[in-house]
């Protein structure tokens, strides 16, 4: 597969399986200016799929860096009104949104005031986007593009070709029919999600080195895989790759400690050796080997930022996990192993409106951190206190 | 001057003299993704000047190419609602707008259906922008960035360094104090503009090889140089470089033939050997050695596209003209020599509202084409029919 072919295959997958672009649809591609080599094939693939109009919106992290370094404090959380119009248009036009991930410069914010980095969150935009995701209002997907900066994080040198080899494997682009491979994969994940939902667990219990955490689940909670349908019936895959089954937990209940098992890339900052302590559903203590100030600033964004929005399980059959790499990119690392997110939850994960009202978290942020691995066991505990092993030695024990 | 220094000097000039960014102001930078090397220094310079918030908006001509090649006919003139919100915000927030020019791929649209290329005009956006310019609602500027594609058009090879040498000269970046040099230059241009305004010419007469054109002027018409003030008193220089004095003519009166003296770059298409014939103020015939279909499509955009919006005079002292190059870029070529624009005019060029109502043109387009040179003489004719030579042998004869 040469360089043009793999971009073409990836663009086709983003349009067909990812956003599942329909004839007559409006398509918006969100990317960094360094991503033009993939954005342009995606635009062409979308038009070939019958898109009515395709827009590329580039956000430049170097301009954000200038804001953090030189701009006024009050502007750090500013959102442009036109970007909010864009989100409104996505909803009103039932548009598709394709996001390209692959940070060209993961250490871009290094050396800046970490508190200011953490505050620069494009707050209103992110809150509205969180609402859109939670209410399944738009067909969206995130797809990766290997960049030199990202490759350097993974391999210690800017070996973009090695990163492409991994991405091709994880995205199943080397299969004869990648789209068919993804549909078969979703069938398996849907079966696992249904099996967990069926047990109506009252909580999850994580155990492992540095980890002993209980997270409450909601009575009408549903487990899902990343094979979504919008509230108007448009099927899409929000993440490519995806290997997880997930739900939104009860925002009121989390107790204990958890240690992250992989580094976390918050755009422009690498966070290593992250640990949290929870009490009464809230993060009450956080520590990290590096980048802790950025996490602290995120947790200070609003009053619900310290509560949980997502719990997700991934087993060792993951094509991402099998690569044995630390990608320093959430789209990959969250699909290598189990993860948890603090911040906003997803209302569609709960059936009963009463559970939504009391149990689903709302926040301007949603940050996933990785907590799984062969040494971490996850049990489900039902209302009578019975314990069932869901994941052990990186294998699902439930079906 | 090394590569970083010249970008820095250019960015500073764009912010100080160009948009004249004020403390607390919102700044929007419009560019192509290939322009990041200049956009980022401009963002930093704007924050150093006290900008409240700086946004970069990139438009990707390759995505536009995909639209022209593969998109539905009805979408060719579509404007994104969020880009209109951006224009509204520029006005309501009294923001500054800095545009980067320098086409990275001037022949990008080659081989496509020329009629479709011409129709892809981002119509509503351009019409609103035309209104903003005409009503002096925003402080704006256009500055150049040398790119390989542009250099190839100028020199026949992608000699970016040679293009930088020319741009540095034209922008006076090699002067000890470029901003002071520009303010002195504006003093001279203002004097010439005032001298022409004072004569109250009833029309201009262009004579030269292939050219014999009379263009009507309005009784309360004012000549300006590109040293502008917005309707709220914000001084700015809309073009850098700029060498012209100009006004908006009477849209009802243009008679005769005119031959363009330099090639014209409509984004993605080179138009060569352009000729127009006017009758009763309207273009009634157009021909060109190449690219005529794109001009024809522009002229068909609305009923006023065929009428004139601007007449501008440039003499041989022009720093751009002295370089003796064909830049294939309107920002430069229109400042090498006299030019005329079909499409929208500028209301601020006329004092009397009655003249505005009957005489100033409104259209979704404004395209400048070059008509000057040593062989072209421009005379002013007053209400009594007396003729005064304004420009001859590339020298102003009026003061």
Q: pLDDT tens, A119-150?
A: 898 989 999 998 999 889 999 999 999 999 99
pLDDT > 70: percent of chain A = 100
Residue from A292, A302, A291 nearest A344 by CA: A302
pLDDT-based confidence at residue A326 (cuts at 50, 70, 90): confident
Residue of B nearest to A85 (CA): B82
Question: What value does the mean pLDDT take over residues A389-398?
Answer: 94
Which of B43, B81, B89 lies closest to A66 in CB terms? B43
CB contact (8 A) between residue A67 and residue B80: no
Q: How many CA atoms lie within 13 A of B159 on its CB side?
A: 10
DSSP string of B151-162?
Answer: HHHHHSS--HHH
* Numbered ranges of CATH 3.40.1830.10 in chain A: 3-177
> What's the confidence (pLDDT) of residue B92?
98
Number of H helices, E strands in chain A: 12, 21
DSSP state of B347: G
Residue from B287, B309, B304 nearest B366 by CA: B309
Q: pLDDT tens, A43-61?
A: 999 999 999 999 999 999 9
**CA separation for the pair A134, B347 (Å, rounded):** 49
Beta-carbon pairs below 8 A across chains A and B: 104
> What's the confidence (pLDDT) of residue B157?
96
Does the CB of A92 have a partner CB in chain B at under 8 Å?
Answer: no
* Residue A217 DSSP SS3: coil
Question: What value does the mean pLDDT take over residues A220-242?
Answer: 96
Residue A251 pLDDT > 90: yes
Mean pLDDT of chain A, nearest integer: 95
Q: How far is A258 from chain B (nearest CA, A)?
A: 38
DSSP string of A291-349?
Answer: -HHHHHHHHTSSTTTTBEEEEEE--TT-TTGGGT---SSHHHHHHHS-EEEEE---GGG
CB contact (8 A) between residue A70 and residue B47: yes
Q: pLDDT tens, A327-365?
A: 988 899 999 999 999 999 999 999 999 999 999 999 989
* Residue B274 DSSP SS3: coil
Residue from A117, A125, A104 nearest A67 by CA: A117
Residue A214 pLDDT > 90: yes
Helices (H), ranges, chain A: 3-13, 36-48, 61-70, 81-92, 114-119, 123-134, 148-155, 160-170, 178-199, 292-299, 330-336, 353-359
pTM of the full predicted structure?
A: 0.89
Does the CB of A235 have a partner CB in chain B at under 8 Å?
Answer: no
What does R_g of chain A's alpha carbons equal in angstroms?
Answer: 20
Q: pLDDT tens, B77-89?
A: 999 999 999 999 9
Q: pLDDT tens, A271-283?
A: 999 999 999 999 9
A interface test, pick of B11, B28, B32, B63 with most A CB neighbours within 10 Å: B63
Which of B44, B67, B72 lies closest to A70 in CB terms? B44
Superfamily of domain B3-177: Thermophilic metalloprotease (M29) (3.40.1830.10)
CA distances A361 to A73, A235, A356, B156, B178, Å, are: 27, 25, 8, 61, 55
Residue of B nearest to A88 (CA): B82
- The answer to whether A239 and A141 have CB atoms below 8 angstroms apart is yes
Residues of chain B with pLDDT under 50: none
Does the CB of A252 have a partner CB in chain B at under 8 Å?
Answer: no
């Amino acid at each position: 597969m040469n360089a043009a072919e793999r971009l073409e295959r990836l663009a086709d997958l983003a349009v067909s399986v990812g956003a599942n672009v329909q004839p007559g649809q409006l398509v918006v591609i969100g990317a960094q200016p360094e991503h033009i080599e993939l954005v342009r094939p995606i635009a062409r693939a979308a038009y070939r799929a019958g898109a009515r109009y395709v827009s590329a919106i580039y956000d430049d992290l170097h301009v954000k860096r200038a804001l953090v370094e030189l701009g006024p404090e009050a502007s750090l959380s500013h959102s442009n009104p036109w970007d909010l119009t864009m989100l409104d248009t996505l909803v009103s036009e039932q548009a598709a949104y394709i996001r390209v991930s692959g940070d060209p410069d993961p250490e871009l914010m290094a050396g800046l005031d970490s508190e200011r980095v953490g505050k620069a969150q494009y707050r209103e935009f992110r809150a509205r986007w969180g609402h859109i995701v939670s209410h399944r209002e738009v067909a969206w997907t995130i797809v990766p593009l290997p960049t030199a900066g990202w490759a350097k994080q993974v391999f210690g040198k800017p070996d973009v070709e090695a990163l492409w080899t991994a991405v091709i494997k994880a995205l199943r682009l080397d299969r004869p029919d990648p789209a068919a491979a993804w549909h078969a994969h979703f069938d398996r994940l849907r079966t696992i999600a249904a099996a967990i939902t069926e047990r109506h667990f009252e909580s999850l219990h994580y155990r492992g080195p540095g980890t002993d955490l209980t997270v409450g689940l909601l009575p009408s909670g549903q487990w899902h895989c990343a094979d979504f349908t919008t509230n108007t019936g448009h099927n899409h895959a929000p993440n490519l790759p995806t290997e997880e089954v997930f739900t939104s937990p009860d925002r009121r209940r989390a107790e204990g400690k958890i240690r992250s098992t992989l580094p976390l890339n918050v755009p422009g900052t690498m966070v290593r050796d992250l640990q949290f302590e929870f009490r009464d559903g809230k993060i009450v203590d956080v520590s990290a080997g590096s980048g802790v100030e950025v996490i602290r600033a995120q947790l200070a964004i609003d009053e619900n930022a310290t509560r949980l929005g997502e719990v997700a399980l991934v087993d060792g059959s993951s094509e991402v996990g099998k690569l044995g790499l630390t990608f320093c990119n959430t789209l990959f690392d969250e699909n290598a192993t189990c993860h948890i997110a603090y911040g906003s939850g997803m209302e569609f994960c709960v059936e009963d409106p009463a559970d939504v009202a009391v149990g689903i978290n709302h926040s301007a942020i949603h940050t996933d951190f990785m907590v799984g691995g062969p040494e971490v066991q996850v049990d489900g505990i039902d209302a009578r206190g019975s314990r069932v092993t869901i994941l052990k030695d990186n294998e699902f024990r439930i079906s």
